Structure 1
């Protein structure tokens, strides 16, 4: 497969994915090809007609606002540093994808729910297990309903990527059955005095791809020329971007595209679902995607270990546990920010 770098695009495309949920195979093929072009040329795109109801989205918004409106001492009852599987409340300053700048946001993190007797939980696999739920009426039901809905959209997109790449059905999706796919509820507080402050620093996402539902503008994406391009807010769309794992699986045909959030003069919420591979999946360039005599550009990557290593290097409470010898980086862990378009431009600088 010929590797193509993202172009010097000035905007991102919108793709109607309704056919992915229907039975018209010709329409599904057309949609899949649109997804493939966007993943190769841009790495970022909108999806519309994704099927998540306005009721489900509004319930998520309402419950999120209820939680973040609580006093800090109440929110800290659910502090992520109290968990043993990286779930819960993330106060401002707790994480820093760019270690030189503190992120001006707070968050609440949850993931794929597994019972305590599940083998992965019993084995102590990092990031696996039950969620931490605030004691707010309906919060768990409403938030997890959105999780299940957006996870379903992710499964449909993965099937579309399989088709676009000419892979057999389930070649990728069979590797994402019970993954540590995190949903983040993110709050950017209103601050009228800040004109150009960072919300989330420049980074690529560690997983296969991300499905984002924002509530306001502020997102920027890096194009193939290393320029930052604004991603206008669309109420009717999810924003999708390619992550590290799909970059590796496709041997660089799909590139994990760097993005960042700028501070805007309005309160903003953001809801990214990071669609991951199963923890023990070995991610490496797929032989079916390599041209004759083409060599893999990436060594194999352990999906869960990669995600865990990047998380350890990003969150302050985990950095402290690492320094204290309470946890260790997985063997062969990559440094933070070593994949994707942003890393390539740093290497060229």
Structure 2
């Protein structure tokens, strides 16, 4: 394979492709490989695509949205009963201003964070592994079942996508799934309040520019607002398509692929209308050591990334992003993993930061 500068590839894109993954879920090997080829092109050239044919029923999506609206319509005191800072394993309610990739510019949104459910007596939970444990479900009748059903359906689609990405890299379809048994894969329920001043505020942000820390993300939005940075540093709108989920490559797949797949910077900007968003961050197991795969190193001639532990990377980025964890760190109650990197140091966003120095 000829060496290609990822930024040169990315500089060309002006729109986000739409990929029908139905054959990946239901087709024979030849059909799955055809879809994998499409996934590979999107992952290499853009790092983003819209996904249809995923089979996540409309009723599941509507159930999730309905329950989320109920959740955020509660009084502030009721929402704070499940404040994320009350729980060791980083789940619960995130009030506006709590989170920010850049502490000087807090994200103006509220969220409720859930993740892969593990019982309190699971060995990993008993061992105190960060980010793993049970969910602190809100005290709302009828909330848990539809939200958990959406999580389960989307997580299974994520497993199929992981197989498709493996095929796209020339690997065995199941090669990466052995690292996905009880991952800290998080589902975020995000609410962007109505902002009448957004159209007049150039720098209004819902979520600041970043790449995602995990393998990839499956996003269900309810309105426009997401923007993706191309290789020239220009922001490209992701059009809203009601039946589509937006998928983007994260840091772990960029490292595993030795940079063949790219984690592309994205943000939510100028959000005037009330908007909800539901990203499921598909992760590998906490203790997975992620490094360029031997097949990719041989193909490219060298390893472009150092190894890191997936969970430590996710935990370190989370500590640096959330106010309550930064405060715990300052008090000496927690410590950053030894391998901690600065927020935004990986993926396309990190490359642009390096270039600006």
Same fold (TM over 0.5): yes
1:7 equivalenced with 2:13 (yes/no): no
1:345 equivalenced with 2:352 (yes/no): yes
Deviations 1:285-332, CA, capped at 9 Å, x for gaps: 000112367111111010000000000000000000000010000112
Q: 2:237 aligns with which of 230, 239, 264?
A: 230
SS of residue paired to 1:291? helix
Change in CA separation of 1:4 and 1:348 when aligned onto 2, cut-off 3 Å: closer
Counterpart position of 2:317? 310
1:194 equivalenced with 2:198 (yes/no): yes
Alignment of structure 1 residues 271-282 onto 2, 5 Å: 271-282=278-289
Change in CA separation of 1:55 and 1:288 when aligned onto 2, cut-off 3 Å: same
Counterpart position of 2:215? 208
Counterpart Cα distance in 2 of 1:25 and 1:105 = 43
Corresponding pairs, count: 349
Change in CA separation of 1:233 and 1:346 when aligned onto 2, cut-off 3 Å: same
Counterpart Cα distance in 2 of 1:334 and 1:341 = 15
SS of residue paired to 1:201? strand
TM-score with structure 1 setting the length: 0.98
Deviations 1:50-107, CA, capped at 9 Å, x for gaps: 0000010000000000000001111000000011100000000001112221111000
SS of residue paired to 1:78? coil
CA RMSD of aligned residues (A): 1.1
User: Gaps (5+ residues) in structure 1?
Assistant: none
Q: Do the aligned partners of 1:180 and 1:279 also contact (CA within 8 Å) in 2?
A: yes
TM-score with structure 2 setting the length: 0.96
Q: 2:336 aligns with which of 329, 342, 345?
A: 329
Counterpart position of 1:69? 73
SS of residue paired to 2:67? helix
Counterpart Cα distance in 1 of 2:50 and 2:70 = 28
1:242 equivalenced with 2:249 (yes/no): yes
Alignment of structure 1 residues 233-272 onto 2, 5 Å: 233-272=240-279
Counterpart position of 1:123? 127
Query: 16-25 or 315-324, which moves further after superposition?
Result: 16-25
Counterpart Cα distance in 2 of 1:217 and 1:23 = 32
User: Gaps (5+ residues) in structure 2?
Assistant: none
1:133 equivalenced with 2:140 (yes/no): no
Query: 210-219 or 162-171, which moves further after superposition?
Result: 162-171
SS of residue paired to 2:39? helix
